[in-house]
A and B are shown apart, each in its own frame.
Chain A
Amino acid sequence: MELLLDISLLSMLVATAIGIAVSRDLLAAVMLSSIYGLLSANFFVTMDAVDVAFTEASVGAGISPLLMFATLAIVGRFERYPHQRALPALLLVVLTGAMLILATLDIPAFGDPNAPAQTHVAPRFINESGTEIGIPNMVTSVLASYRGFDTFGEVTVVFAAVVGVLALLGSSLPAAGRKLPDTLLQASNHRILRIVSKILVAPIMLFALYVQFHGDYGPGGGFQAGVIFAAAIIIYTMLFGLEAAMKVINVTVLRVLAAFGVLLYGSVGLVAMLNGKNFLDYDALAADPVHGQHYGIIVIELGVGITVAAVMMLIYFAFAGRLIDRSHKS
C-alpha cells in the first residue's frame, strides 16, 4: 500500500514537472507549480514529515503561486521564445544528474534504520528531547532549541527578503486614502465569494493562533501561523480592496512589526547571555531548565510568527500596490 502511494505520488510529481517545462503559458505553469507544491506536501506526509508538509503546503501551494500570479498580472502570461541553448543545457543537466545518480549508489538504502543519518546525532533528539525540552513535538524541539540559531537565521532571511522587496517595490506601497480603480474589486461584487470569505476570515485568524501556540504538541509553529494569519488579511484585501484593508492596517506599523519579531527572538538570546549562559540557552530563563526551555520556545516562536505575518502582508501589499499603479497608467 505504501509502495503504491509512493509510486503514484512520485509519478504525478514527474508528470507535473514535465508539464511545467513544456508549457509556454505561464499561468498554467504557475498553477502546475502550485500543484507540485501540494503533491510534494503529500509526499512529505508519507515520509512522516508533517511539519514540513504543513509548511510546504502553505508556501509551495499558497504564498509562492500567489506572488507569481500577481507578477504575471503585471508582466504578461505568455513566454515569447522557445527554449534557448537547449542542447548545452541538456548536456549539463544530464551530467549533473549522472553525478547525482552515481552518488546515490553508495548511500544507505531508503528507510534503513541503521543508516548513519539515523544512528549518530538524531537518537539524542528522539530519546532525550522529551526530558531535556519537555515537549512532544521533536521537530519543534530541534528547530527552536537544539538548532535554534538556524531558526534565528531563518527569520533573518525572511526579514532580508522584505528589505529587498521594499527597496524594489516600496514606492508603490499603498498609503491610506488612496483611491482604487473599481476593476480590481470585481470579486467583491460576487455575492457568494463575499459572504463565504467574510465568514472565513475570522476562523482563519483563530486557526493561525491555534497553530502558533500548539506547535509544541502537533505540527505547526510560528512560521506556519504567520503565513496563515497573513493569508486571512490577504483574502480580506482581495475581496474588499486595499483601501478597506488600509483602514485597519498601517504599513509603517507592519514594517516595525517585521523588525520587532527578529528583535524579540534575539532578545531571548541576549537575556540568556545576561543570565550567564550562552546565546539562546533557554535554561537561563527560569529556575527549572525545562520550564526555561518552554518559555524560550514560546517567545521565539512568537517572534517568528510576528515577523513572518508582517513580512508576508508587506510583500503582498507591495505587489498589489504595483498592480494598481499599472492599472492607473493603462
Chain B
Amino acid sequence: MSVLFSHYNYWVVIVLMMIGFYIVIAQGNLVKKLIGLNIFQTSVFILYISAGKVSGGTAPILADGITLYSNPLPHVLILTAIVVGIATTALGLSLIIRIRDTYGSVEEQDVRAAEGNRKQESC
C-alpha cells in the first residue's frame, strides 16, 4: 500500500507517456503523430519534475524564512527540453505542409501508396 502512495504519481505519468507513444506509432495522420509526440515528451517532462519535488519544499527562489526548497536542477533540464520539443514540432509541421503540397495528403497510408506506385512505375 505504501508503494502505491509513494509511486502512484510516477505510474500515472507512465500511462500518459504511453498514450502519447501509442498515438505516434499507431496513428497514420502526420499531424496527429506530432501531437502524440508532444504528449509523449510532455509526460517525460512531468516525470523529471516529479523527481525534483521535495515534500514540504517551495519553489527554488531564495526568500527569507524558507529553508526547504525543491530541486532546481530538473527544472533547468526540462526548460531546455521544452524548447527542444517546440523546435522539433515547428520543423515537423513545416515538413507536413510540404508533404501535403507534394503528395496531396497528410496520411501515412496515402503517402506510402504514392511511393509504392512510383517505385513500380520506375521498375
Q: Which residues of A contact B (CB under 8 A)?
A: 6, 10, 13-14, 17-18, 20-21, 26, 29-30, 33, 36-37, 40, 43-44, 47-52, 55-56, 59-60, 63-64, 67-68, 70-72, 74-76, 79-81, 83-86, 89-90, 92-94, 96-97, 100-101, 104-105, 107, 109-113, 115, 117-118, 121-122, 125-126, 129-130, 136-139, 141-143, 147, 150-151, 153-154, 157-158, 160-162, 164-165, 168-169, 217-219, 223, 315, 318-319, 322
**Restricting to B32-66, which residues have a CB under 8 Å from any CB of A?**
32, 34-36, 38-39, 42-43, 45-46, 49-63
Asked whether B89 lies within 8 Å of A142 as measured between CB atoms, the reply is no
Asked whether B35 lies within 8 Å of A104 as measured between CB atoms, the reply is no
Q: How far is the CA of A51 from the CA of B59 in the complex (A)?
A: 9
Q: How far is the CA of A63 from the CA of B38 in the complex (A)?
A: 13
Asked whether A318 lies within 8 Å of B94 as measured between CB atoms, the reply is yes
Majority-rule SS of B interface residues: helix
Distance to closest chain A CB from B79 (angstroms):
6
Q: How far is the CA of A26 from the CA of B32 in the complex (A)?
A: 7
Asked whether B79 lies within 8 Å of A143 as measured between CB atoms, the reply is yes
A sample of 20 more A-B contacts (CB under 8 A), given A89-B22, A89-B26, A111-B54, is A10-B13, A17-B43, A20-B35, A20-B39, A26-B31, A29-B35, A55-B82, A56-B42, A64-B38, A64-B86, A74-B100, A75-B97, A83-B26, A109-B6, A112-B6, A126-B60, A129-B62, A161-B88, A223-B79, A223-B83
A13: chain B residues within 8 A (beta carbon): 12, 16, 46
Asked whether A56 lies within 8 Å of B21 as measured between CB atoms, the reply is no
Q: How far is the CA of A143 from the CA of B59 in the complex (A)?
A: 15
Given A92-B25, A93-B18, A165-B91, A52-B79 contact (CB < 8 Å): yes
Distance to closest chain B CB from A24 (angstroms):
8
Q: Which of B74, B78, B80, B98 contacts A117 (CB 8 A)?
A: B74
Closest residue on chain B to residue A136 by CB atoms: B62
A217: chain B residues within 8 A (beta carbon): 61
Distance to closest chain B CB from A308 (angstroms):
8
Return the 4 tightest CB-CB contacts between A and B, nearest first. A109-B6, A111-B55, A161-B87, A89-B26
Q: Which of B16, B73, B91 contacts A122 (CB 8 A)?
A: B73
Asked whether A112 lies within 8 Å of B69 as measured between CB atoms, the reply is no
Closest residue on chain A to residue B2 by CB atoms: A109
Asked whether A52 lies within 8 Å of B108 as measured between CB atoms, the reply is no
Closest residue on chain A to residue B29 by CB atoms: A79
**Restricting to B80-105, which residues have a CB under 8 Å from any CB of A?**
80, 82-91, 93-98, 100, 105
- Sample 9 A-B pairs with CB under 8 A, ordered by A number: A26-B35, A52-B45, A56-B82, A68-B93, A97-B18, A113-B57, A138-B61, A161-B90, A164-B91
Asked whether B29 lies within 8 Å of A80 as measured between CB atoms, the reply is yes
Q: Which of A36, A47, A72, A84 contacts B49 (CB 8 A)?
A: A47
Q: How far is the CA of A141 from the CA of B79 in the complex (A)?
A: 13
A47: chain B residues within 8 A (beta carbon): 49-50, 52-53, 70
Asked whether A33 lies within 8 Å of B35 as measured between CB atoms, the reply is yes
A110: chain B residues within 8 A (beta carbon): 6-7, 9-10, 50, 53
Q: Which of A21, A30, A160 contacts B19 (CB 8 A)?
A: A21
Give the one of B3, B21, B46, B78 with max A CB within 10 A.
Answer: B46
Asked whether A322 lies within 8 Å of B42 as measured between CB atoms, the reply is no
Asked whether B26 lies within 8 Å of A10 as measured between CB atoms, the reply is no
Asked whether B73 lies within 8 Å of A165 as measured between CB atoms, the reply is no
Q: How far is the CA of A109 from the CA of B10 in the complex (A)?
A: 10
Q: Which of B72, B80, B94 contacts A151 (CB 8 A)?
A: B80
Does B76 have its Cβ within 8 Å of any Cβ on chain A? yes
Asked whether A26 lies within 8 Å of B82 as measured between CB atoms, the reply is no
B54: chain A residues within 8 A (beta carbon): 48, 111-113, 118
B62: chain A residues within 8 A (beta carbon): 129-130, 136-138
